[in-house]
Amino acid sequence: RVIAGPERKSRVISVKEKEVTAYHEAGHALVAHYLPGCDPVHKVSIVARGMSAGYTISLPEEDHTFVTRSKFECQLAFALGGRAAEELVFDEVTTGAANDLEQVTEVARAMVTRYGMSEKLGPMTFGQKEELVFLGREIGEQRDYSEAVAQQIDEEVRRIVHTAHQRARQLLEAHREQLNAVAERLIEVETLEAEEFVAVVEGRAAPEEPTSGGMPTPPRSTGKEALAPTKPGPKLDMPPQPAPA
b (16+ CB within 10 A) / e for 196-210: bbeebbeeeeeeeee
In this structure, of 49-58, 150-159, 219-228, the range with the lowest mean pLDDT score is 219-228
Report d(CA 157, CA 76) in Å as an integer.
Answer: 12
Report d(CA 153, CA 150) in Å as an integer.
Answer: 5
Encode pLDDT of 184-227 as tens digits.
999 999 999 999 999 999 998 766 654 334 444 334 333 333 33
Bigger pLDDT: 8 vs 52: 52
Pairing of strands 139-142, 128-131: antiparallel
* Domains along the sequence of the chain with CATH: 15-201 (1.20.58.760)
Determine which one of 25, 86, 156, 196 is catalytic: 25
Encode pLDDT of 82-108 as tens digits.
999 999 999 999 998 899 999 999 999
Report the chain's terminal Cα–Cα distance, integer Å.
20
92 — alpha (psi -120 to 50), left (phi > 0) or beta? beta
Bigger pLDDT: 8 vs 40: 40
25 carries an active-site annotation: yes
Report d(CA 97, CA 125) in Å as an integer.
Answer: 29
Distance (Å) of CA 125 to CA 89, 144, 151? 39, 10, 15
Report d(CA 220, CA 204) in Å as an integer.
Answer: 19
